[in-house]
Structure 1
Amino acid sequence: MDFTILVGGAAGQGMDTFANILEKVLKRNGFHIFRHGDYMSRVRGGHNFLQVRFSDKPISTYRQKSDIIFALNEETVDLHENDLNENGIIILDEEISKEKNLIHLPLNKTAKGLGNVRVSSTIGLGFILKYFGLPKDEAIKIIKEEFNEKISEVNLRALDEGYDLTDTKYKLETKEDKSILINGNNAVALGAIAAGCKYYCGYPMTPSTGVLNYMSLKSEEMGIVIDQVEDEVAALNMALGASYAGVRAMTGSSGGGIALMAEAFSLAGIIETPVVVINVQRPGPATGLPTRTEQADLRFMIHLGHGEFPKMVISLRNGEDAFYQTARAFNLAEKYQIPVILLSDQELSESTVTYSPFDFEKISINRYISGEEAIVEGERYKRYKFTEDGVSPRIIPGKIENQVVLVDSDEHDEYGNITESAEVRTKMVDKRARKFESLKKEVQEPWLIGEEEPEHLIVAWGSLYGAVKEAVEALNLEGVSIGALVFGDIWPFPTEKLGKMYKNVKNLIAVEQNSTAQLDSLIREELLIKCNHKILKYDGRAFSGEEIYSRLKEEVL
């Protein structure tokens, strides 16, 4: 059982509210959910749509065809009627597309009769629940949870009206709800909270703002200081200040905002202060497509900041991965006293998906803070002490009497005092570089999908995991010998698994959402391996599993 419901219309017509209630109802009835959105960068007007896919089996991407299209305007019919499954239906108000043989419902007329034209979408919700043979119980509970008493009452009447407008076509079997429903941004924020993050700052920038919003929502309950700052230049500098003072700190933005942070990244490198930064990618350059998705910042993140200093880059593959990797990022940042960059994108950040509940017991908080043992009796504290692995003892300012923690953006000696000594400069560069050698031992190999010794091997990264997974599994069912490696850790780059597998493959295929195959170029650089096929997409829309499946069939197999 696998269905997709699409609701489309103009911004401001209540699609989000409809989809929010629908996905919660389906989730509470025990179904697996994947919600995908497509919206324009405007407050009113334009064409937007949301798809809620639900199944009795785990799902990891959206479907291109829909079983029900709930059209809030005529444009939705025109744009999506060809994307309807063979037995699918289009429901809409009786005043829209009158000349077409669709299921016209008295949505607006009934809503006006109820005294609130805004409840027309709730009438549609009632119709859909009855169509699939689902009870109203959970919808009633959710409406009461979401709205005040007055608004709930009219919406409940609207739900009843819609429920009476149709007969049941499918009698779906409900199950016990054992999942959580969360999007990528909220999963990142939850991972940061679990890791003990106590300071988050940022400037709102789509599609990263959801992290700031969720952290703010939980700030009082969890004792987190939140700053909405004046710009992204301030954001990273303030996060570094909080980290210097001794708390776990994080900031985030999208491409343009991350670009403004570039100088402060170098500051993090030279003062060796840990910080976690989330880049939720969107298409550039410049403003680009603010509400769309892309994977074009991989190279940018690896080389972010002037000068040479170690950093780590981790791409997030789904919401569950986002939770655990965000927590891991804080430990790595503090262990090696480096900036750790998390790479997400619009599709992952805003798609709502069901997962098994996250296990907070798996999260460990390792601060790597030194105490008085870092001080040699009779000596000043050496913040940048030369060590074998390049990691110097880190103490918190004000915690040890008569000891000062010096930091400066100029090159410095072991104490943190400014120097222009050629010898000290060379030793400091080498000291920082040694941390990267240790960091290489921390990298995690990519996730394997499909066959372990395939004839055809896909390489992908980040949020493409879900779409690649469904494409590979469909081809495996057809007897195609194919597998995929989907990378999470990007820098340092993990080479072991790919280095072993590629030797026996006929086709090495890069699947990426950028125009230059950036992962492919990194593989060539690190392993001297070149992909002989590239399946790329960079129109701002996310790959679906079906699209990857079709392009593999057309271009490779």
Structure 2
Amino acid sequence: MKDQLSWKVGGQQGEGIESTGEIFASALNRLGYYLYGYRHFSSRIKGGHTNNKIRVSTNPLNSISDDLNILVAFDQETIDVNIHELREDGIVIADAKFNPVVTEGYDARLFAVPFTEIATELGTSLMKNMVAVGATSAILGLTADSYQNVVEDIFLKKGTSVVEKNMEAIRAGAEYFRNEAGDNMPDLQLAPADGQKRMFMIGNDAIGMGAVAAGSRFMAAYPITPASEIMEYMIAKLPEFGGTVIQTEDEIAACTMAIGANYAGVRAFTASAGPGLSLMAEAIGLSGMTEQPLVIMDTQRGGPSTGLPTKQEQSDLMAMIYSTHGDIPKIVITPSTVEEAFYDTVEAFNLAEEFQCPVILVTDLALSLGKQTVEPLDFSKIEIRRGALQLGVDIPEREDKEYFKRYEVTESGVSPRVIPGMKNGIHHVTGVEHDETGKPSESPENRKNQMDKRLRKLANLPKTFKNPLFVHAEHEEADLLVIGVNSTRGTIEEAMPRLEADGVKVNHAQVRLLHPFPTDEIKPLIERAKKVVVVENNATAQLANIIKMNIGNVKIENVLKYDGNPFLPGELHQTCKELV
């Protein structure tokens, strides 16, 4: 029996490929298996090759696999494009409808199963994906009943007869494959799972859940891949808590509406990807100048321009920090797992109010849309901190009858904050430079005082942010220090034991606070390493350059990948081994 294996389903976009993977993975999740999924899909609604690769294990895992045990193909292109990943003992299960053949140059066991024909005989060809799921269950040694609850959740609203038809399709697929394989059943049965209940979700859902838990009750956004699922989650959940979502005409409106809602005292945010973030740049400056809290979720994808909207990349790092004109305080958080995305979203709202500045939470496509097992979240860890916001207090009237000092120069750089309508809290708000009461002022002395005040805010943030780095560093003197950001964490963690087995001493640091950069935390790790390797999905070594800008002339070996695909553990292991 197998403790882990990798399964992939592929076909043309619009054929139900995603739902096939979803049904397969959801059933295994409910049995207690650990899962990690990654979707490869085209940037169009229908047509173009798409696949869903799902890794299954009886132990925790945080990355996609190097290879493949089972390939389920709904067309010949799926075989041709993906067969290179198959292990020697791997198999292809393909719809007999298109007369499948093994791609020339490869040797793999092929099982032609009439997915479409069986489904049509049962009532509709649309159930061919369920037949494929059934065939897979026979290989893994699972019963059709394993899928009962999942199928009910998806189809019961259409009636019990629809549920039964889909279950019948699963049973028919399993029976056909068992008869077809006979005594030659592939040796790919899964070892039993522990049966424990765990969550199975994408990073975008964790962000949405984190926003709700943080007390956000308003989201303004414009749909864009790979951020749209955050908006969809909030549309479904916020009304239950008295909140609302507005789909705006563009990202400029979305950002300014979020600023306005925060000004009124409502925790609000927006979410987008690189192109949308470019449009928000001026509004981010408005947040910095007016010192209004603002939370933005940036889900990175391939650029520039429209670029590769459905592919993996980490090329927004510099833009997060430096795209805004003028000097403003800004916080950039980079979670590396779905679990971190949840907790860091809550923290983003707290920091935005505590420091009265824009906070950008950055993910990448693999983290935003990759679906993985998550241990139950601990809601007791959540705390709501609103900083200097004065609610439920009496603001004394000033003897000089002047406005409230909303932008008072303080030692911490954080000024008192009120919401509109509070007695004695009237003040002016403008995007031009202003004095302590908000009135426009071009006085050189005032300009310097206000600028210095704003920039003082973040002086100690790297020390107060709870976990600016994820660190796995067992060696006092390491041959390699591997540094990554966002979703590369799992791949690095899987490559490390392979390098250790080769006799390479490896330490690992994953950046979770990109700006202000945690120099004091990462510098000692760099000093303890013979060689520093920075792993990132972009062409210009953005993370490595940020490290150099903050730490100094550090000799860094760059490991870059910018073909639209995430790193694989095997390729990272081999590349790092060659660098020692």
Contact 1:336–1:439 (CA under 8 A) maintained in structure 2: no
Identity over aligned residues, as a percent?
36
Deviates more, 1:433-442 or 1:322-331: 433-442
1:112 aligned residue:
120
Alignment match, 1:452: 475
Alignment: residue pair count: 555
TM-aligned CA deviation for residue 459 of structure 1: 1.3
What CA distance in whole angstroms lies between the structure 2 residues aligned with 1:498 and 1:538? 25
2:448 aligns to what SS in structure 1? Answer: helix
What one-letter code is carried by the residue in structure 2 that aligns with 1:370? Q
SS at match of 1:418: coil
2:76 and 2:101 in contact (8 A); partners too? no
Q: Deviation digits for residues 110-145 of structure 1, max 9, x if unmatched?
A: 111111001111011111112111122230111111
Give the one of 151, 163, 168 matched to 1:157. Answer: 168
Inter-partner Cα distance in structure 2 for 1:47 and 1:420: 58
For the 8 Å contact 1:396–1:405, the answer to whether it is kept is: no
SS of equivalent residue, structure 1 residue 197: coil
Secondary structure at the counterpart of residue 165 of structure 1: helix
2:408 is aligned to: 385
401-410 or 258-267: bigger deviation = 401-410
Q: After superposition, where does 1:495-506 map in structure 2 within 5 Å? A: 495-506=519-530
Q: Note if 1:507 corresponds to 2:531.
A: yes
Matches within 5 A, 1:396-435: 396-398=419-421, 400-435=422-457
Residue of 340, 353, 372 corresponding to 1:353? 372
Query: What does residue 129 of structure 2 align with?
Result: 121
Provide the rounded CA distance (Å) in 2 between the counterparts of 1:317 and 1:34. Answer: 14
Three-state SS of the structure 1 residue aligned to 2:52 is strand
Distance 1:222 1:437, change over 3 A: same
Cα pair 2:37 2:53 within 8 Å, conserved: yes
Whether the 8 Å contact between 1:314 and 1:488 is mirrored in structure 2 is: yes
Q: How many Å separate the matches in 2 of 1:304 and 1:357? A: 37
1:194 aligns with 213
Check 1:223–1:529 CA distance in 2 against 1; reply closer, same or farther (3 A cut).
Answer: farther
Q: Which one of the candidate residues 71, 80, 83 is aligned to 1:78?
A: 80
1:166 maps to which residue?
177
Deviations 1:527-549 (A, max 9, x none): 11423311100111111222211
- Measure, in 2, the Cα distance between the counterparts of 1:334 and 1:161: 57
Shift in Å, 1:504: 3.1
Shift of residue 341 of structure 1? 0.4
1:383 and 1:414 in contact (8 A); partners too: yes
Matched with 1:370 is: 390
Letter in 1 for 2:284: F
SS of the counterpart of 1:533? strand
What is residue 34 of structure 1 aligned with on the other side? 36
Structure 2 residue aligned with 1:526, among 545, 550, 557? Answer: 550
Alpha-carbon distance in 2 for matches of 1:243, 1:540: 36
Shift of residue 178, structure 1, vs aligned partner: 2.4
| Secondary structure at 1:514 match in 2 | coil
Q: For the residues of structure 1 that align with 2:423 and 2:216, how far apart are their CA atoms?
A: 26
C-alpha change, 1:119 and 1:256, in structure 2 (3 Å) is: same
Within 2, Cα distance between the matches of 1:288 and 1:138?
Answer: 41
TM-score by length of 1: 0.97
Distance 2:480 2:166 in 1: 52
Q: 1:491 to 1:373 in 2, by over 3 A?
A: farther
Q: Does the 8 A contact of 2:58 with 2:191 survive in 1?
A: no
Q: Distance in 1 between matches of 2:148 and 2:433?
A: 64
Please state if 1:291 is matched with 2:315: no
Aligned residues of 2:332 and 2:516 also touching (Cα < 8 A): yes
- In 2, the alpha carbon distance for the partners of 1:439 and 1:489 equals 10
How far apart, CA to CA, are the structure 2 residues paired with 1:2 and 1:46? 30
Superposition deviation, residue 98 in structure 1: 4.4
Alignment of 1:8-23 (within 5 A): 8-23=10-25
Contact kept, 8 Å, 1:336 with 1:435, in 2: the verdict is yes
1:433-480 Cα deviation digits (max 9, x unpaired): 111214343243311235333221111112211111111132224432
1:486 aligned onto 2:510: yes
Larger mean CA deviation between 452-461 and 226-235 belongs to 452-461
**Structure 1 CA distance for aligned equivalents of residues 473 and 496 of structure 2:** 6
Moved over 6 A (4+): none
Please report the RMSD computed on the Cα atoms of aligned residues, expressed in angstroms. 1.5
Find 1:134's aligned residue among 142, 162, 165.
142
Deviation for aligned residue 1:377? 4.2
* Partner secondary structure for residue 164 of structure 1: helix
Contact 2:473 2:509 in 1 (8 A): no
**Partner SS state of residue 250, structure 1:** strand
The 5 Å alignment of 1:44-123 reads 44-100=46-102, 102-123=110-131
Q: Distance in 2 between matches of 1:291 and 1:501?
A: 35
Pairwise mapping of residues 292-331 of structure 1 onto structure 2 (< 5 A)? 292-331=311-350
Q: Deviations over 1:11-63 (max 9, x none)?
A: 01111111111111110111000011101111222111110111001010101
8 Å contact from structure 1 (residues 184, 319) kept in 2: yes
Deviates more, 1:349-358 or 1:442-451: 442-451
Instruction: Flag structure 2 segments of 5+ consecutive residues without an equivalent.
Output: 103-108, 179-184
**Per-residue deviation, residues 270-310 of structure 1 (Å, max 9, x unmatched):** 10000110110111111101111111111111113111110
Tell me the SS of whatever aligns to 1:95.
helix
| Contact in 2 for aligned 1:520/1:531 (Cα 8 Å) | no
Q: Which runs of 5+ in 1 are unaligned?
A: none
Segment drifting more, 248-257 vs 88-97: 88-97
Q: 2:287 and 2:571 mapped to 1: Cα distance?
A: 41
Alignment partners' CA distance in 2, 1:320 and 1:425: 42
Say if 2:33 and 2:194, in contact at 8 Å, map to a contact too: yes
Shift of 1:373: 5.6
The farther-off stretch of 446-455 and 503-512 is 446-455
| Partners of 2:555 and 2:226 in 1: CA distance | 31
| Amino acid corresponding to residue 266 of structure 2 in structure 1 | V
State whether residues 35 and 53 of structure 1, in contact with CA within 8 Å, keep that contact through their aligned partners in structure 2.
yes
8 Å CA contact 2:314–2:538 kept in 1: the answer is: yes
Give the aligned residue type for 2:449.
Answer: K
Q: Structure 1 pair 533/394, CA: closer, same or farther in 2 (3 Å)?
A: same
Contact 2:113 2:177 in 1 (8 A): no
> In structure 2, do the counterparts of structure 1 residues 175 and 415 end up closer, same or farther at CA, with 3 Å as the change threshold?
same
Tell me the TM-score normalised to structure 2 length: 0.93
